[in-house]
Amino acid sequence: DSGVTQTPKHLITATGQRVTLRCSPRSGDLSVYWYQQSLDQGLQFLIQYYNGEERAKGNILERFSAQQFPDLHSELNLSSLELGDSALYFCASSVTSRGQNTGELFFGEGSRLTVL
């Protein structure tokens, strides 16, 4: 058990819909990362938050947005869903000194999104 909790574990929805994925980081971790993993793409970095502020951005679509709340949990919002958005979405957390990644990421078990 990594200590990172993601909900829901599975989600099935239709094209055009909007979903919210939730992540609770390990106790004490200030950084939260979101990754998308599809069969043909590997783990794609989406976005990182540090203590409530956006720290780094990857190839996150404009239809996707995220935030980190004062209690450090994070949500990833996916809207206007398309078939190609079907994937495993992972959240990870780490203890990060400002400006440097000094260690490992702890991953949750992922949220499997299926868009029909």
The Cα–Cα gap between 97 and 116 comes to 41
User: CA distances (Å), 11 to each of 35, 81, 89, in order?
Assistant: 16, 12, 11
Looking at the Cβ atoms of 50 and 64, the one nearer to another protein is 50
99 binds another protein (CB under 8 A): yes
What is the closest distance, in whole angstroms, from the C-beta atom of residue 45 to another protein in the complex? 6
Report the C-alpha gap between 84 and 66 in whole angstroms: 19
Shorter beta-carbon distance to another protein: residue 58 or 84: 58
Tell me which residue of 93, 71, 95 sits closest to 3, measured CA to CA. 93
State yes or no: residue 28 binds another protein (CB under 8 A): no
- Which residues, numbered 34-73, are part of the site for another protein (CB under 8 A)? 35, 41-43, 45, 48, 50, 55-56, 58
Do 111 and 88 meet the contact criterion of CB atoms below 8 Å apart? yes
Binding site for another protein (CB under 8 A): 2, 4, 31, 33, 35, 41-43, 45, 48, 50, 55-56, 58, 88, 90, 92, 94, 96, 99-101, 103-110, 112
